[in-house]
Amino acid sequence: MEFREFNSANLIKPLNFHFYQDNLILSELGKEAIFLFHEFDINTGDSLSSFVKFGGGPSEVLSPISTGLINDDLYIYDLTTQKIVSLALDQNKNINNEYTLNDFYMWVTFESDSTILGVGNRKSFAKIERLNFKNKSLGKEVAFHTHIPDQYSTEFLQDICQTLLVTDPSGENYSLLYRYIDAVEIFKSNRKNSVLIQGPYFNELSYEKAYTGEMFVMLHTEETTENFIYAYATEKYIYGLYSGGKAIERESQTSNTIFVYDWEGNPVNEIILSRKILSFGITPLDDKIFSYDLDKGEIIYADLF
């Protein structure tokens, strides 16, 4: 699938893509950036605005690892400061609300204007936690890891079972794509149990266990494989960027292969891209993919299906 240039934007490390009305909104990571969010006209590629300054002060963000759109509002989870902020895209794009979380999550998705689904809480054996971030109360519906060996601490388990978490636009269905375990797990609102799907290459989990003086952690071996390294979901499909490379190699953090599943867990397609990418976004109609070429410094896109 051949990429074409959309905009020659000089960005540091673009991560998350969103589609708002007729515009593309793109977030980036990197302390060298002045603004961390950028808006483009999706039809012309023209740059429209940049907003949310990098920093640790009020109305600033350090590492917007997870983002989500709820109606006209953009929600941002700052991994470094463990806070959630929101701003109105149809107004001045200034941060108008901030909420500090009690626990650290590796990744979150925004279920509503008050709740998130979070993964990677190192104090918990949960696969997914539902949290009302406004009053900081945990929801009742939580997916837990089971059959845990006695010697596994919560920190060590969360290291091994690192996942990406995506939801469909309704927020009713969600999926975990595992980083070191070659698997995809799907949860649907109309189904009591999740569906676990074997990944494409049956890669075995390989790791070493080390003690830091405070906790046990996972160490990579020469055989540790990176499986799913980024994910995106639409109403119809789950898209997983698949590496298959060794975790000790820098090249394993990008890939040109995306595996597509429907929400019943059926494999739909394997997309081979013309360039290796770090992340991507899919338009709501599943007709275009947008990404960023780190080598050439340009936003790129391609037609799907």
Residue 132 pLDDT level (bands cut at 50, 70, 90): very high
Asked if pLDDT for residue 31 goes beyond 90, the answer is: no
166-178: pLDDT as tens digits = 999 988 899 999 9
Estimate to the nearest angstrom the gap between the alpha carbon of 215 and the chain centroid. 26
233-281: pLDDT as tens digits = 999 999 999 999 999 998 999 999 999 999 999 999 999 999 999 999 9
Mean pLDDT of the 281-305 span:
95
Mean pLDDT of the 287-301 span:
96
Q: Are the C-beta atoms of 176 and 167 separated by less than 8 Å?
A: no
The predicted structure's pLDDT at residue 141: 66
Give the predicted TM-score (pTM) of the model.
Answer: 0.95
Q: Are the C-beta atoms of 291 and 277 separated by less than 8 Å?
A: yes
Least confident of 84-88, 166-170, 174-178, 210-214: 210-214
Distance CA 230, CA 23 (A): 22
Q: Are the C-beta atoms of 4 and 300 separated by less than 8 Å?
A: yes
Residue 285 tokens read as 């109609």
Distance CA 154, CA 122 (A): 6
Distance CA 15, CA 27 (A): 6
Closest by CA to 111, choosing from 195, 183, 189, is 189
Residue 109 pLDDT level (bands cut at 50, 70, 90): very high
